[in-house]
Structure 1
Amino acid sequence: MSLKDNIEMIRQELNSEEKFFEKAVVTERFIKKYKKAIIASIAAIVVLVAANIAYEANEKSKIKEANIAFSKLALNPSDTAALSELKSLAPNLHDAWVFSQAIANKDIEKLKSLKHTKALIVSDMAEYEMATDNSMLAEYASKQDAIFRDLALVQGAIMLLNENKIDEARNSLEKVSKESSLEKLVAILMHYGIK
């Protein structure tokens, strides 16, 4: 290596060290200028992570306690303490339990109490069951958001056929959705039941 190459190499090393120190000074100034904001951001992240961990632990605990209360109810359906604990821990599961007991005991009053529950499926199932008991299936099926609409239409049509109201039964069956899983049953009823 020549002396000229050595000097050039030393100059490049000094330039790179100078740039490194320059960046270090800029970084140090940045940290000093925004020190409080950086510390606050780190503290906020730590608090959010801790709060999230605590929330998840609390939710798991509530689920475990709700399962224990549900198990107690399965063993003893008349356990009012377990029922109230289930209602406070998991209202939707509570409503599902009350619905199952109302169906098992044919308790229309409990079904009426579930009509406005926040558990959408339980609410709709309660309305459907009340409609079948009161022969108000057509009214239930006319609701826009009825989950069991097609089933109510078919069941209502069968009741109309039993009363020999053929035209009304046909009208009811024609309202059943073509994509319904009951379409084959509707086709059979239209072919054999309504002539």
Structure 2
Amino acid sequence: MSIKEDVNYVKNELSSEEKFLENFVKGERFFKKYKTLIFGFIVIIIIGSIGTIIKKNIDEANKFDANIALNKFLESGDEKALTTLKDKNEELYEVALYLQAKKENKSVEINIPLLKELLKFQIATTNNDQKELDNLSLQNDFLLKEFAIFNKALLLVNEGKFEEAKTTLKQIPQTSKAFELANLLNHYLLTK
């Protein structure tokens, strides 16, 4: 029995070594067959990693330069800083244009939707433009919709159109932050 067990043990050992050598040979053939693809893939990964790191550093440098340019523009109104800002960061450039237009109370072409709406609202309230406030209050997604309605009612009160102002104030929902202002104006309108 012990010789039989020894023979079985040797057979198992030889078959596992054969399998190992067979797998090694298969792996070597696979590597030789796809060697250029494997090296190409490794090179692409290395170049991609280096490119990502370089892009990240360039983006951070542009961000830093854009912030410095924005600060310089806000402090001194430097047009060169505004040009640098346009080259480095388009969104900050539009913020600078918005701030300049707000300061000068004029309209400017901006692509950032919220800033565009805020600028329209500010110009409409400054110019007492009831038609523009009405247009803004009709937009469902307008950020300051209820405040536009309130300002429209305030303009109507200044014109002496008290009943129209009351109906306009009823458009402001109770959940709105402008509802308290509308209540105050409604209390004033009770005497009118």
Give the equivalent residue in structure 1 for 2:119: 126
Which deviations, in whole Å up to 9, do the C-alpha atoms of 1:66-88 show, x marking residues without a partner? 122123224322x2211211122
Counterpart residue number, 1:157: 153
Q: Please give the TM-score of this superposition, normalised by the length of structure 2.
A: 0.83
Give the superposition deviation at 1:90.
1.7
2:107 pairs, out of 108, 112, 130, with: 112
Distance of 1:66 and 1:128 partners within structure 2: 28
Identity percentage over the alignment? 28
Could you say if the C-alpha distance between residues 11 and 184 of structure 1 is closer, same or farther in structure 2, counting changes exceeding 3 Å?
farther
Q: CA deviation at 1:152?
A: 0.6
Residue 20 of structure 2 aligns to a residue whose secondary structure is helix
Which residues of structure 2 form unaligned runs of 5+?
none
CA distance in 1, matches of 2:22, 2:184: 86
Unaligned runs of 5+ in 1: none
Corresponding residue for residue 83 of structure 1: 82
Q: In 1, distance between residues paired with 2:7 and 2:166?
A: 102
User: What letter is aligned with 2:101?
Assistant: A
Q: Distance in 1 between the 2:183 and 2:17 partners? A: 86
Distance 1:48 1:178 in 2: 55
What displacement does 1:144 show?
Answer: 4.1
Aligned pairs, how many?
187
3-state DSSP class of the match of 2:107? helix
Indicate the SS of the match to 1:155. Answer: helix
Q: How does 1:34-45 map to 2 (within 5 A)?
A: 34-45=34-45
> Over the residues paired in the alignment, what is the CA RMSD in angstroms?
2.3
Report the equivalent of 2:144.
148
Query: Cα distance, 1:161 vs. partner?
Result: 2.6
Shift in CA distance, 29/76, structure 1 to aligned 2, threshold 3 Å = same
Secondary structure of the 1:121 match is: helix
Letter of the 1:130 counterpart: I
Cα 1:117–1:98, aligned 2, differ >3 Å: closer, same or farther? closer
Tell me the TM-score normalised to structure 1 length: 0.82
Secondary structure of 1:112's partner?
Answer: coil
Deviations 1:121-145 (A, max 9, x none): 2211111111112223112222344
Tell me if 1:135 matches 2:134.
Answer: no
